[in-house]
Amino acid sequence: MNTTNRGLNRLFILVVGVLLLAAGALAIAIAAAPALASQWKRTASDLAGSGAPSWVREPVMGQASALVIGLVVLAVVLIVLLLVFIAKQGHGRTAAALEQRNGTTVTRIDLAIPKALLEQHLEGRPELAGLRISAYEVRGTPMLKITARCSRGASPATVSSAISGAIRDLEQIVGTDVPAFVQLTGGFRTGSASRPRVA
Partner 1 sequence: MTTEDRLRSRVLRRELHSPRSGLAIPLALLAIVALAWLGTEGVLAALGRPALLLTPKAMGTGIRGLPGVQPGTLIAAGTVLALIGLVLVVTAIAPGRRGRHIIGAGDSAVVVDDAVIASALVRTAATTAGVSPDRAVAHVGRRSATVRVTPVSGVPVDREAVQRDVQAAAEGFGLTPAVRTRVAIDKNGKVGG
Nearer to partner 1, 38 or 107 (CB): 38
Q: How far is the CB of 64 from partner 1 (least distance, A)?
A: 4
Nearer to partner 1, 111 or 146 (CB): 146
Nearer to partner 1, 51 or 95 (CB): 51
Q: How far is the CB of 95 from partner 1 (least distance, A)?
A: 19
Contacts with 171 (C-beta within 8 Å, 6 or more apart), sequence order: 177, 178
Instruction: Please give the radius of gyration of the chain, using alpha carbons only, rounded to the nearest integer.
Output: 29
Q: How far is the CB of 110 from partner 1 (least distance, A)?
A: 20
Q: How far is the CB of 104 from partner 1 (least distance, A)?
A: 20
| Best CA proximity match to 146, nearest among 109, 110, 111 | 111
Cα distance between residue 175 and residue 131, in whole Å: 23
The string over 101-112, giving b where at least 16 C-beta atoms fall within 10 Å of a residue's C-beta and e elsewhere, is: eeeeeeeebebe
